[in-house]
C-alpha cells in the first residue's frame, strides 16, 4: 500500500473550500485517539458539540466515514486527518490494530462487498425469461420512439425558431413520455435542451445539431437488428437502456490502470461521474461511468495520478470503452505523471474519428501539451498548444491548475468536446 503525500490529499478534496477548512483543523489540538495501519487511518475530532466526530479512512478505496453531518466526501475532518497523517510527525502514530469504531466500519465494508459478490455469483440465469424481458423492453421503447419521431416531425414543420417560444411544460411533457417508454437517456437530453434553448446564445445551432442526433437515433432503432454489436452498444447507451450483469462479458483479469482524471456532472435529475483510466501496459483509454439519482451519493473518485490494480468489466460500444470496476481497486502507486501530450489538431482528429464511429458521442479524452491562459478583458480562459492552436476551456476558471503550472508549458489531460476542452488534471511545473 503506497503511502500518501500532500499532493494526494489535495487531489482528494471535493473542492477548494473543503481543503481550506481542513488546513485549519490539521493541528493536534482538536484530535484524539488517532492512529493508522497499512490501510486505515482514524481519529476523533472535537467539534462544537459535546461528542467528538469519529473519522475513519480506508486508504485502499479510498473510502471515508465521518459522523459529522456534512454530505461532502471526504469532509473537512477526513481531509484534516489525512493532512496530519502525511506529515509523519507523530500526530497520527502507527498502530497494530485499528480503534474499535474504525475496525467495525472496515469489517462492515468488507462483509457488504463479499455479500454482494456472493449474491451476484449465485444469481440464476433463465435464458427464456431474459429473452422475454428484452423483447418487452424493445416493444415499449419502440412505441415511445415512434411517438417521439412524430414530435420531431412536428418540430421540423413548425420550425426550430418556434422552440424558443415554447414553455417548459412542452419539453417536459415530451420527456415524461420517453421516461414512461423506458428511454430515460433521451428524455434527459430533451430536458437539458429546454435549458439550453433558453440560455445559450448559439441555441439555434445547438438545437439543430442535437435534433439531427435524435432523428438518427430513431432511424437507427428502427434498424436495430441490422446494426453491429458495437453500434447497438453505442445506441443503447445513448437512449439510456441500462445493462444488466447478464448482458456483459466476464471480468478481465486484474491489471494496472492509471487514473488520468475524473469529472462530475450534477445537473438535472441524474448525477454522473466519469473516471478516465489508461492501461499501464498498452496505453488504452477507458472510462468508468457511475450514476446516482436524487439524494444517493456518487462513489468517491479515485485519486488523479494513482495507479490501481483492478479487474474491469467492459460494456459494448465504440472506443474509448466504457467499463466498471469488478472489485475494489488496489492502489499500486501515487503521483504517476501524465503521458506525453500531443497537439490540439491530433485531439480534434481523434474526436472527428470517434464521431464517424459513434455519432452520439459527446467527448473524447486527450492529453495535450501547452499552457493554460486565464480569462481577461471578457475573453474566456483558453488552452494554447505549442503550435499556437487555441481552444476555449470548459468549466470553472482554471486558477487551481494555473497555480501548479504558473502558466508554463505542461501536459494537460481533459475532455475535448465541440465547445471546448475541459481540463481534469495537469502535470505540475516546478518553480
Check residue 267 and give its pLDDT. Answer: 63
What count of other Cβ atoms lies within 10 Å of the Cβ of residue 388? Answer: 8
If asked whether residues 179 and 212 sit together in one domain, one would say yes
The answer on 408 and 365 residing in a single domain is yes
Whether residue 191 is contained in a domain is answered as: yes
The confidence score (pLDDT) of residue 23 equals 93
Is a pLDDT exceeding 70 seen at residue 125?
Answer: no
d(CA 231, CA 182): 19
Mean pLDDT value across residues 275-303: 86
Q: Is the pLDDT of residue 431 over 60?
A: no
Supply the range of the domain harboring residue 110.
6-121
In the prediction, which pLDDT does 1 show? 61
This prediction's pTM: 0.80
Q: Do the domain assignments include residue 268?
A: yes
Residue 295 pLDDT class (50, 70, 90 cuts) = low
Domain co-membership, 235 together with 255: no
Q: Are residues 147 and 94 in the same domain?
A: no
The domain boundary, picked from 191, 216, 239, lies at 239
Residues 230 and 133 in one domain: yes
Cα 328 vs. chain centroid, distance in angstroms?
Answer: 17
The answer as to whether 277 is a domain residue is: yes
Give the residue-averaged pLDDT of 135-157: 95
Domain for residue 245, yes or no?
no
Same domain, 296 and 353: no
Q: How far is it, in rounded angstroms, from Cα 290 to Cα 287?
A: 10
CA distance 410 to 258: 19
DSSP states of 40-105: EEEEEE--SSSSPEEEEEETTTTEEEESSS--SSS-HHHHHHHHHHHTTSSSS-B-SS--HHHHHH
In a domain, 431, yes or no: no
In terms of domains, do 115 and 137 share one? no
Say if 65 falls within a structural domain. Answer: yes
Domain co-membership, 10 together with 117: yes
Same domain for 113 and 10? yes
198 & 297 share domain: no
Say which residues have a Cβ less than 8 Å from residue 311's Cβ, sequence separation at least 6.
251, 252, 253, 254, 255, 325, 326, 327
* Residue 338 belongs to some domain of the structure: no
Listed residue (265, 266, 333, 340) closest to 303, CA to CA: 333
Which residues are within 8 A (CB) of 65 and not within 5 positions of it... i.e. 6 or more apart?
A: 54, 55, 56, 57, 105
Domain identity same for 279 and 356: no
List the CATH number of the domain containing 350. 2.40.50
Q: What is the tally of structural domains in the chain?
A: 4
Tell which of 121, 153, 172 closes a domain: 121
The pLDDT of residue 167: 93
Provide the pLDDT confidence category of residue 291 given band limits of 50, 70 and 90: confident
Confirm whether 390 is domain-assigned.
Answer: yes
Cβ atoms < 10 Å from Cβ of 23: 14
Residues 208-243 as b or e (16 or more Cβ within 10 Å = b): eebbebbbebbebbeeeeeeeeebbbbbbbbbbbee
pLDDT at 142: 96
Same domain, 25 and 44: yes
Compute the distance between CA of residue 422 and CA of residue 411 in angstroms, rounded to an integer.
14
Strands across the sheet with 390-392, in order? 390-392, 382-385, 364-373, 410-416, 421-426
Where b means 16+ CB within 10 Å and e means fewer, 87-117 reads eeeebbeeeeebbebbeebbeebeeeeeeee
Task: From 183, 218, 239, give the residue that closes a domain.
Answer: 239
Amino acid at each position: 500500500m503506497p503511502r500518501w503525500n500532500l499532493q494526494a490529499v489535495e487531489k482528494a478534496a471535493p473542492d477548494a473550500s473543503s481543503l481550506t477548512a481542513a488546513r485549519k483543523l490539521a493541528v493536534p489540538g482538536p484530535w484524539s485517539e488517532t492512529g493508522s495501519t497499512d490501510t486505515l487511518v482514524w481519529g476523533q475530532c472535537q467539534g462544537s458539540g459535546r461528542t467528538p466526530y469519529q473519522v475513519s479512512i480506508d486508504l485502499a478505496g479510498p473510502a471515508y466515514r465521518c459522523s459529522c453531518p456534512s454530505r461532502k466526501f471526504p469532509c473537512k475532518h477526513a481531509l484534516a486527518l489525512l493532512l496530519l497523517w502525511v506529515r509523519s510527525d507523530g500526530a497520527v502514530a502507527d498502530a497494530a490494530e485499528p480503534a474499535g469504531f474504525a475496525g467495525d466500519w472496515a469489517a462492515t465494508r468488507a462483509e457488504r462487498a463479499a455479500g454482494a459478490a456472493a449474491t451476484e455469483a449465485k444469481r440464476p440465469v433463465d435464458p427464456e425469461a431474459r429473452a422475454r424481458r428484452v423483447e418487452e423492453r424493445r416493444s415499449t421503447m419502440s412505441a415511445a420512439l415512434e411517438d417521439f419521431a412524430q414530435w420531431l416531425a412536428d418540430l421540423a414543420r413548425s420550425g426550430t425558431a418556434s422552440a424558443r417560444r415554447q414553455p417548459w411544460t412542452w419539453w417536459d411533457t415530451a420527456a415524461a413520455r420517453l421516461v414512461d417508454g423506458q428511454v430515460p437517456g433521451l428524455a434527459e437530453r430533451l430536458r437539458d435542451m429546454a435549458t439550453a434553448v433558453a440560455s445559450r446564445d448559439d441555441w439555434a445551432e445547438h438545437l439543430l445539431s442535437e435534433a439531427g442526433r435524435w432523428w438518427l437515433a430513431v432511424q437507427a432503432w428502427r434498424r436495430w437488428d441490422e446494426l453491429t454489436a458495437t453500434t447497438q452498444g453505442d445506441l443503447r447507451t445513448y437512449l439510456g437502456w441500462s445493462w444488466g450483469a447478464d448482458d456483459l462479458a466476464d471480468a478481465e483479469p486484474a491489471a494496472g490502470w492509471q487514473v488520468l482524471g475524473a469529472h462530475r456532472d450534477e445537473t438535472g435529475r441524474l448525477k454522473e461521474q466519469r473516471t478516465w483510466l489508461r492501461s499501464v501496459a498498452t496505453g488504452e483509454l477507458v472510462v468508468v461511468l457511475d450514476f446516482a439519482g436524487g439524494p444517493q451519493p456518487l462513489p468517491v473518485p479515485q485519486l488523479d495520478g494513482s495507479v490501481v490494480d483492478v479487474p474491469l468489466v467492459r460494456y459494448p460500444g465504440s472506443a474509448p470503452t466504457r467499463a466498471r470496476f469488478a472489485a475494489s481497486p488496489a492502489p499500486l502507486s501515487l503521483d504517476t505523471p501524465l503521458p506525453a501530450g500531443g497537439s490540439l489538431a491530433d485531439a480534434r482528429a481523434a474526436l472527428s474519428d470517434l464521431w464517424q464511429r459513434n455519432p452520439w458521442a459527446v467527448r473524447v479524452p486527450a492529453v495535450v501539451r501547452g499552457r493554460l491562459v486565464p480569462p481577461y478583458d471578457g475573453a474566456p480562459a483558453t488552452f494554447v498548444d505549442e503550435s499556437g492552436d487555441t481552444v476555449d476551456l470548459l468549466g470553472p476558471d482554471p486558477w487551481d491548475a494555473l497555480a501548479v503550472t504558473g502558466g508554463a508549458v505542461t501536459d494537460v489531460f481533459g475532455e475535448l468536446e465541440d465547445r471546448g476542452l475541459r481540463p481534469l488534471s495537469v502535470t505540475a511545473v516546478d518553480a
